[in-house]
Amino acid sequence: MNELYELAKQIDVLIIFYFLMGAAIYGIVSTIMNGIWLVRDSIKKHRAKKSEKKESTEE
């Protein structure tokens, strides 16, 4: 019975470890993706303003 208890403790520790690792990896990936989207949106807005300014000066 004692061996079963030790095995259950080890499995519990592994489950908690993998859960925390998954949460950490998700947080890192989410932060990186938000940064990429922010840069992409900034570039799109800059291009739109640039083309709008170019169109207004041509007219």
Task: Summarize pLDDT for 38-52 with one digit per residue, the tens.
Answer: 999 999 999 999 888
Q: Is residue 50 one of the residues assigned to a domain?
A: yes
What is the distance between the alpha carbons of residues 34 and 27, in angstroms, rounded to a whole number?
Answer: 10
Residue 54 domain-assigned (yes or no): yes
pLDDT at 54 over 80: no
Confidence (pLDDT) at 56: 77
User: pLDDT higher for 57 or 6?
Assistant: 6
Phi and psi at residue 36, in whole multiples of 5°? Answer: -65, -45
Q: Which two tokens stand for residue 58?
A: 């041509």
* pLDDT tens digits along 8-41: 999 999 999 999 999 999 999 999 999 999 999 9
Confidence at 57, pLDDT banded by 50, 70, 90: confident
State residue 50 phi and psi, 5-degree precision: -65, -45
Two structure tokens written together for 33 = 């993706």
**How many domains in the chain?**
1
Note down the domain range covering 52: 23-59
The answer as to whether 2 is a domain residue is no
